[in-house]
Amino acid sequence: MNRRVVVTGLGLVTPVGNTLETTWSALLEGQSGADYIKKFDAARFAARFACEVKNFDPLDYIEKKEARKMGAFIHYAIAASDEAVRGSGLKIDDSIAENVGTYISSGIGDFWAIEREHEKLLKDGPSRVSPFFIPSAIVNLASGQVSIRHNAKGPNSATATACSAGAHAIGDSFKIIQRGDADAMICGGAESAITPMSVAGFAALRALSTRNDDPVHASRPFELTRDGFVIGEGAGILILEELEFARRRGAEIYAEVVGYGMSGDAFHITMPDASGSGAVRVMQRALNDAKVQPEEVGYINAHGTSTPYNDKFETMAIKKTFGEHAYKVPISSTKSMTGHLLGAAGGVEGVFSVLSIHRNILLPTINYVTPDPDCDLDYIPNKAREAHVQYALSNSFGFGGTNAALLFKRYEE
């Protein structure tokens, strides 16, 4: 028998709030995190706005000497992990340390360090490159630093599966606990890639919205006039535990993880498969893993990037997966408010999906004005909605055709 896995802790750093509760409150009010870029002068860029984390000081969490050795995505991961561990009440002492792991993914790692140190190399020579360049930049150091910080000596891993990375971290952690290789995992995603090179690169792909006169309303998933995604940053972390391990210590349980799916489009490096087959298969695999019927799902947190193709093909895939139930299940894209957090997206949206079940409220898709005939489902337009949901599905699709789907369930004894 596979072991049951539950969620006992949640932590967030997002463009609309630096904690779980500030973020949740902002999302309930339909606030957008988009604004003109403050991190660098973007005057010459095709897209001059983003969803940046605001008023975040790493020194509130990390000693100055240590913070200088880390990229911003690691700062965000530590802040969100601290909140999640603290909220869970998990005390990682030597008696359990070897059975507690970390799995925190990122799509890119610290692009800032790459750009900064490359400039030093060209200007001043190789001797001026920081000895902390590599450990501040590489993707797995968010997981590594959190592991060291919390004395978690169990599995320590990370994936760099683009915009599916955070969801893969949660799903893989679910399986690690389910098969008995750990009793608890600190997992999710972290990203900080709002840099000149990154913004220029995504703009060159024509992936970003260029609604420079109106950033707040630029991210509009499933809406007719959408023109691209808004790049975001932050971290979303969950504490997963084996059920009996959590119950023995009296932990509060937010929800249960019951299904995980993975698939590959095998189609194109950036564009989703026009048939939606990869997205269909990943959702079906999550449902099959949980032995849940499509009509039992009460909410979908969609990938919903606000790009013309993604939203159209995801809608098509939901229809193929859910049949007539597709027109009855509420769907939202929280990227309308947070922007697209790339490798952290699956982490933060996993947190949102769990809270939607636990708090009986579904988050909206804001900036939804003109319906798109190709996107004709219930996208919870503009206002949050009260609902008692038994199962919530969270989708994440990434460049290279890498897909992940997570299925969460209301916890029952």
Active-site residues, by number, are 163, 303, 340
Q: What is the amino acid identity at position 226?
A: R
> How far is it, in rounded angstroms, from Cα 266 to Cα 283?
16
Q: Is 1 exposed, middle or buried (0-12, 13-18, 19+ CB in 10 A)?
A: exposed
> How far is it, in rounded angstroms, from Cα 225 to Cα 215?
14
Per DSSP, the three-state class of 376 is: coil
- 402 Cβ partners below 8 Å, 6+ apart? 161, 162, 164, 168, 262, 264
Nearest Cα neighbor of 243 from 234, 233, 235, 253 is: 253
What Cα–Cα distance (Å) separates residue 345 from each residue in 228, 236, 367? 16, 8, 19
Q: Please, what is the end-to-end C-alpha distance for the chain in angstroms?
A: 17
Per DSSP, the three-state class of 125 is: coil
